[in-house]
Structure 1
Amino acid sequence: MLKQAALIALMAVSASAMAGPWQAKFGASLLSPTSDTSIAPGAVVKADHEFNFTPSVEYFFGDSPFSAELLLAAPFNQDVMLNGENVAKVKHLPPTLTAKYNFKNSTRFTPYIGVGATAFLAWDESGVADKVKNDVGFAGQLGFNYQPADAKNWGVFLDVRYADLSPEVRLVDGTKFDLDINPIVYTLGYSYRF
């Protein structure tokens, strides 16, 4: 009984210590590349679409409309296509940090816009790709959060992100080129304030 009371007290202290202007977001995303790369006449390389689980953490700065969000996606396992044929696969992480402005209003919809930076962190390649370098670039974000009337801390969100990414790829034959991915990422999910 004493152990249970101590555990409950510890959990209460932990919860109060964590209480604050935080929001956890649990989403599913479609990463849709918008660019392709011509490496030779008649040879076009393009990254394929990819679905993934994309959680994130957001911090709100007091009563101001500003917040910062860190995207923490599960690893993407993306195919690389040469003239429509799958020739390589690249695993990577896309951590993205955005500074956001939330348009507060009297409705349950809270639109937001954000700008920041993203990274392409590669760690495994297969097929004709011998080495893919890490890359960093600009990120933009646009979306909204909706909190239903009967929800205390829960909500749903929808957003669209753009990332300016062109990692350098070295093929097994020594050929090097910048793979222009520049994806748009569409995300739908749940949010929880605590």
Structure 2
Amino acid sequence: MLKQIALISLMGISTLSFADWQVKVGGSLISPTQDTTIAPGAVVKADHELAFTPSVEYIFGETPFSAELLLATPIAHDVLLNDEKVAKIKHLPPTVTLKYNLKNSSPFTPYVGVGGTAFVAWDESGVAKDVKEDFGFAGQIGVNFKPADAKNWGVFFDARYAQLSPEVTLVDGTKFDLDIDPIVYTLGYSYKF
């Protein structure tokens, strides 16, 4: 399914002007905000992780709107039961947001975005036998900074919220939704073509 989405996306963007693209590379802290109680006294949660998170953004001409696709290397979360590691789950987090960029005369351009995200399970180990894919809402807020002497490059910081609760099946057959709902903090470099 991921290959089909990538193919359709590439076919769609191939008809667009390359002059309105921005590429971003950054490092992110993936910070889960929820935990899951699977039984009295048994709380499961995912740990915080660091990841390399490039993204591509298409800017719709002179309008304040753009669309951004967040990519990442596979992210590996340790799964903790009462703060003890019992499993590891790897996943890919493709996220698409439609953004509104608040353009002004300063070198800072704040932006907000809304869209959708996915949890594409990559691998699992430990007591986790199977992890399902999940889809949810995504929100984004951030700022681009372009120095006065910069022609095409800049730096950015943003925070994204992703609503994700993949279903996990343990080796003993127990099933539960692992509430992750992470906030992703990203600092990086941008280059506009």
One fold, TM greater than 0.5? yes
Identity percentage over the alignment? 74
Q: What amino acid maps onto 1:56 in structure 2?
A: S
SS in 2 for 1:173: coil
Matches within 5 A, 1:19-168: 19-168=18-167
Structure 1 window deviating more from structure 2 (145-154 vs 62-71): it is 145-154
Question: Shift in Å at residue 132 of structure 1?
Answer: 0.3
Q: What amino acid maps onto 1:74 in structure 2?
A: T
Bigger Rg, structure 1 or 2: 1
Structure 2 unpaired stretches of 5+: 1-15
Question: Shift in Å at residue 30 of structure 1?
Answer: 0.2
Q: What is the CA deviation profile of residues 15-42 of structure 1, one whole-angstrom value per residue up to 9, with x for unaligned ones?
A: xx97411000001000000000000000
Normalised by the length of structure 2, the TM-score is 0.91
SS in 2 for 1:20: helix
Q: What is the CA deviation profile of residues 133-181 of structure 1, one whole-angstrom value per residue up to 9, with x for unaligned ones?
A: 0000000000000001121111000000000000000000000000000
Normalised by the length of structure 1, the TM-score is 0.90
Q: Tell me how far apart the structure 2 counterparts of residues 75 and 125 of structure 1 sit (CA, whole Å).
A: 12
Q: What amino acid maps onto 1:85 in structure 2?
A: E
Q: Tell me how far apart the structure 2 counterparts of residues 79 and 190 of structure 1 sit (CA, whole Å).
A: 28
Question: Shift in Å at residue 73 of structure 1?
Answer: 0.8
Runs of 4+ in 1 over 2 A off after TM superposition: none
How many pairs are equivalent? 178
Q: CA RMSD in A?
A: 1.0
Please tell me whether the aligned partners of residues 119 and 164 of structure 2 are also in contact (alpha carbons under 8 angstroms): yes
Q: What amino acid maps onto 2:148 in structure 1?
A: A
